[in-house]
Structure 1
């Protein structure tokens, strides 16, 4: 399978690194963005300078019509989507459990259940007709850490894992693998103002003695998207230096 990769929320953060890494493997890459056109174009420019092929695509991946139009646009410009990485996310506020509302839960489920479902439904018919594909979800080790104030986020990540395993069983007969890469805390641009003392406290809890990097997440995504992972499906690979072991 050498078709295009669609990475949502790829204008910055982990998504940008994943997009660059998949392009380095020779895949055309669709860099999806919503508010950050300049950042998305910068990722595309990085890929192009490195000899790869990419294009930026504006779409709200929580909206059904936008997702349908996005996949059609990607396939018209870059070719069929053989790799899907639903990476887009939204705000992740810290809210005490006694204050969490149903809307707080829906906000997280929108990104980790609704959006992946819409994207999967848009790309799977083509994958089936071509004899296979790869879906790589981006999870989180917070599902195990049960961090206070993150109940809505953690619950949605648990639902995302359940989706992945069910899809793996349903889509396996068509040679479509479905897996989750679950990072620990990987500092990216939005963590620039984080208190250094918090970063150091986290680092001391990591058996490997350091923070992970976005490139290390991107490498695992690229592996699962490759032919080397052709017999791996329904799995969750935690990438956190041993901070949580499940």
Structure 2
């Protein structure tokens, strides 16, 4: 059994980020053609595109502000022209900001999280779901976070945005499931990425002591779950919030 995404086209928003680039490589290694989205990292996007070509798939880069419906629609049209209709959407991009307490966090930070978590999800659905409905096949995979279940101090803006995203995805799963489209979320824990490897910060005893598996997960482990949910192996899974956190958070029944 293997994950086969041959002849599928996937869009990964925030593809040049720490997790995004590994998802991009992984999906390409499964045979998917890749639309590499970026907002400001054009050079990184071009480098990633050139790297992806080694998998023998098609890849192209596309810039858009995910908080703008007009720019997402324009990106969709460009992808259609260069790669064809998108089969799989991975919503990974999110605005970055400094975390602090609710009393200190600026209103603009809450707005940025709402725009890049909730509204990005809405805009991507509006832009890409109609073609999926027409073809009776599609995948939406949103990148959520274990923080949505933790609600720790200083997480409020991030949690508010990701919890709002969770609501959109659960409703979307019910609205478009009849068309053969699945809608799921992957919720990483505090994940080891290239930044950690470069800075030798892979280990955090204080964090790992609370994780049942006693370690941090890796970016590749996140990408593996994304690839699974994007594939036909997960054809009867929809509306799921899947923590990839070593048991650090556990949804209850």
The alignment's TM-score, normalised by the length of structure 2, stands at 0.91
Contact 1:3 1:79 in 2 (8 A): no
Other-structure match for 2:145? 140
Task: Give 5+ residue unaligned stretches, structure 1.
Answer: none
Q: Deviations over 1:118-170 (max 9, x none)?
A: 11100011111111200000000001111211111111111111111100000
Contact 1:47 1:54 in 2 (8 A): yes
Aligned-residue RMSD, C-alpha = 1.9
Superposed, 1:82-231 pairs within 5 Å as 82-189=87-194, 196=201, 199-231=204-236
Classify 1:92/1:101 alpha carbon distance in 2 versus 1 (closer, same or farther; 3 Å).
closer
Deviation at 1:53, TM superposition (A): 2.1
Deviation at 1:194, TM superposition (A): 7.7
The answer on 1:61 being equivalent to 2:66 is yes
Other-structure match for 2:82? 77
For the residue of structure 1 that corresponds to 2:87, the secondary structure is: strand
Q: Deviations over 1:75-103 (max 9, x none)?
A: 11111100001110111421212223433
Deviation at 1:244, TM superposition (A): 1.6
More helix by share: 1
Q: How many residues align?
A: 246
Contact 2:186 2:242 in 1 (8 A): yes
For the residue of structure 2 that corresponds to 1:165, the secondary structure is: helix
Match of 2:27 among 22, 25, 28: 22
Give the ranges of 4+ consecutive aligned residues of structure 1 lying more than 3 Å apart after TM superposition.
Answer: 189-198
Other-structure match for 2:242? 237
Deviation at 1:174, TM superposition (A): 1.1
For the residue of structure 2 that corresponds to 1:245, the secondary structure is: coil
Q: Give the Cα separation in 2 of the matches to 1:92 and 1:188.
A: 19
The alignment's TM-score, normalised by the length of structure 1, stands at 0.93
Deviation at 1:204, TM superposition (A): 2.5
For the residue of structure 2 that corresponds to 1:179, the secondary structure is: strand
Task: Give 5+ residue unaligned stretches, structure 2.
Answer: none
Classify 1:150/1:177 alpha carbon distance in 2 versus 1 (closer, same or farther; 3 Å).
same
